[in-house]
């Protein structure tokens, strides 16, 4: 029996929806926490920007390592995917509970980093599945849609946090992040027990790309451009910290925490829309041009965050919309370019390497920005990424991959 006929066609869409629900619930819980994290750690607990940057960098690095380890385990024993998803979501719930009760920076940092690790452990290979079941001509549209769904879940989490802050204090809002995470545990446990959440039945057998493929100039140029972009991609919590400093009294009837959470919701809504359009544009014009446009948007956002005045709400809205558009469009374009330049049977390994490259770049960018922010000022921390973004734009003036 071939992989595509292993399950009836009517069962596959329902199975994919059930497999995506835990990731969606987990995103809602994690991002509702992120929406209030910067004011909580920097304001309530008194952490310096470098401490906040270190927490996010450690979390992202740990999450990528956990995801890589989980993927290797599942490649050897496919039956472990379900238990690992349940374990990851359960760890995310524990981290959310302990974060709400933390009273020191190191405690909050350990909980936040632990939540990233748990998220990496429990994240299913949704992009791998999407790339293996889409036509080459529509790869960008398919991956952009997948990226958009995750961004919409994150936006819902941020907007829910803004609403809850009207009725509860910040620690209670952090604790209420347990609700969607517990839902993720329940759904993933149900899928594991019933065996209805498999994502690999349509995927071709996976291999690792050969060295000859990795030496191809288009793929090397794409990797170099992605490195320049991701090494400039500062964690969103530092942007939220900047917003909390520029809007100390909130906006109108909104408290400072509510204003920051709403801006984070706008960031993810912009990201969701840009992922859809960015993927389609990558199909039509090539990934390089979309990444270059995203780099220009991000450069404009950093300039706005650096020079915006106190209480300038419009500038904050524009900056978060630009940064969100860059995040969504570039993510979709990066995976589209990598998928277009490599055979489908290597996509799991290629996407895993791309995820590691993204994580490494974002760790470098976040630590550098946080350090300069603490030692020199926020403007230095934000603008230090400008030269690499300009280099990224220059590298992609020529397309790296030609649409087929």
For residue 154, what are its two tokens? 């994150």
pLDDT recorded at residue 1: 37
pLDDT recorded at residue 59: 87
CA distance 147 to 272: 7
CA distance 230 to 391: 12
User: Which residues have C-beta within 8 Å of that of residue 288, sequence separation ≥ 6?
Assistant: 221, 222, 225, 333, 337, 395, 396, 398, 399, 400, 401
The gap between the terminal CA atoms of the chain, to the nearest Å, is 31
3-state secondary structure of 67: helix
CA distance 229 to 250: 32
Which structural domains are found in the chain, ordered by start?
A: 12-395 (1.20.1250.20)
Contact 31, 154 (CB under 8 A): yes
Phi, psi dihedral angles at 251 (to 5 degrees): -135, 110
How many CA atoms lie less than 13 Å away from 397 in the CB half-sphere?
Answer: 4
CA distance 261 to 165: 9
Distances (CA, A) of 247 to 211, 313, 329, 342: 51, 8, 28, 46
3-state secondary structure of 207: coil
CA distance 247 to 212: 52
pLDDT recorded at residue 46: 84
Please identify which residue in the block is written with the tokens 């030609």.
402
For residue 157, what are its two tokens? 């989490």
pLDDT recorded at residue 18: 61
CA distance 155 to 321: 12
Contact 123, 67 (CB under 8 A): yes
pLDDT recorded at residue 10: 39
User: Which residues have C-beta within 8 Å of that of residue 379, sequence separation ≥ 6?
Assistant: 306, 307
**What pTM value is reported for the model?**
0.88
Closest CA to 131 of 191, 225, 206, 26: 206
b/e burial code for range 350-376 (CB count within 10 A of at least 16 → b): bbbbbbebbbbbbbbbbbbbbbbbbee
pLDDT recorded at residue 16: 55
Task: Walk along the chain (404 residues) and give the pLDDT tens digit of each residue.
Answer: 333 334 444 344 555 556 678 888 888 888 999 998 888 888 888 888 899 899 999 888 888 888 888 777 877 877 777 788 888 888 888 888 898 888 889 999 899 988 888 888 777 666 777 776 677 778 888 888 888 988 999 999 999 999 999 899 989 999 998 898 888 888 888 777 776 555 554 555 566 665 556 667 788 888 899 999 999 999 999 999 999 889 887 676 778 889 999 999 999 999 999 999 999 999 888 899 999 999 999 999 999 999 988 888 999 999 999 999 999 999 999 999 888 888 877 888 888 888 888 999 999 999 999 999 999 999 999 999 999 999 999 988 766 665 55
Contact 89, 102 (CB under 8 A): no
CA distance 24 to 90: 15
User: Which residues have C-beta within 8 Å of that of residue 86, sequence separation ≥ 6?
Assistant: 122, 185, 188, 189, 192
């Amino acid at each position: 029996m071939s992989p595509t006929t292993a399950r009836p066609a009517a069962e596959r869409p329902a199975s994919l929806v059930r497999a995506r629900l835990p990731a969606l619930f987990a995103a809602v819980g994690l991002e509702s926490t992120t929406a209030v994290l910067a004011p909580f750690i920097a304001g309530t607990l008194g952490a310096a920007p470098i401490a906040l940057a270190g927490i996010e960098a450690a979390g992202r690095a740990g999450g990528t390592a956990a995801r890589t380890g989980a993927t290797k385990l599942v490649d050897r024993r496919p039956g472990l995917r379900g238990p690992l998803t349940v374990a990851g979501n359960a760890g995310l719930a524990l981290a959310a509970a302990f974060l709400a009760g933390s009273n020191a920076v190191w405690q909050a940092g350990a909980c936040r980093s632990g939540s990233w690790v748990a998220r990496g452990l429990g994240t299913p290979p949704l992009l791998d599945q999407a790339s293996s079941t889409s036509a080459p001509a529509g790869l960008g549209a398919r991956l952009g849609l997948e990226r958009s769904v995750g961004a919409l879940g994150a936006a819902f989490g941020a907007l829910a946090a803004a609403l809850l802050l009207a009725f509860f204090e910040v620690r209670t809002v952090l604790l209420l992040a347990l609700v969607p995470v517990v839902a993720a545990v329940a759904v993933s446990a149900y899928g594991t027990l019933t065996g209805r959440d498999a994502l690999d039945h349509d995927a071709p057998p996976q291999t690792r790309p050969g060295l000859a493929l990795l030496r191809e100039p288009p793929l090397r140029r794409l990797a170099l451009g992605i490195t320049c972009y991701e090494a400039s991609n500062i964690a969103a919590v530092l942007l939220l910290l900047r917003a909390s400093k520029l809007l100390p009294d909130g906006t109108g009837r909104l408290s400072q925490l509510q204003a920051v959470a709403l801006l984070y919701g706008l960031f993810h809504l912009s990201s969701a829309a840009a992922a859809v359009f960015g993927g389609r544009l990558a199909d039509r014009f090539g990934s390089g041009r979309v990444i270059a446009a995203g780099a220009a948007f991000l450069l404009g956002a950093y300039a706005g965050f650096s020079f915006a005045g106190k209480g300038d709400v419009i500038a904050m809205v524009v900056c978060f919309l630009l940064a969100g558009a860059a995040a969504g469009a570039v993510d979709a374009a990066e995976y589209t370019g990598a998928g277009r330049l490599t055979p489908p049977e290597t996509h799991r390994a290629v996407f895993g390497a791309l995820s590691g490259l993204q994580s490494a770049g974002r760790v470098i960018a976040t630590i550098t920005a946080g350090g300069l922010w603490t030692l020199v000022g926020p403007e230095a921390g934000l603008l230090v990424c400008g030269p690499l973004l300009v280099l990224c734009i220059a590298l992609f003036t020529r397309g790296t991959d030609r649409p087929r």
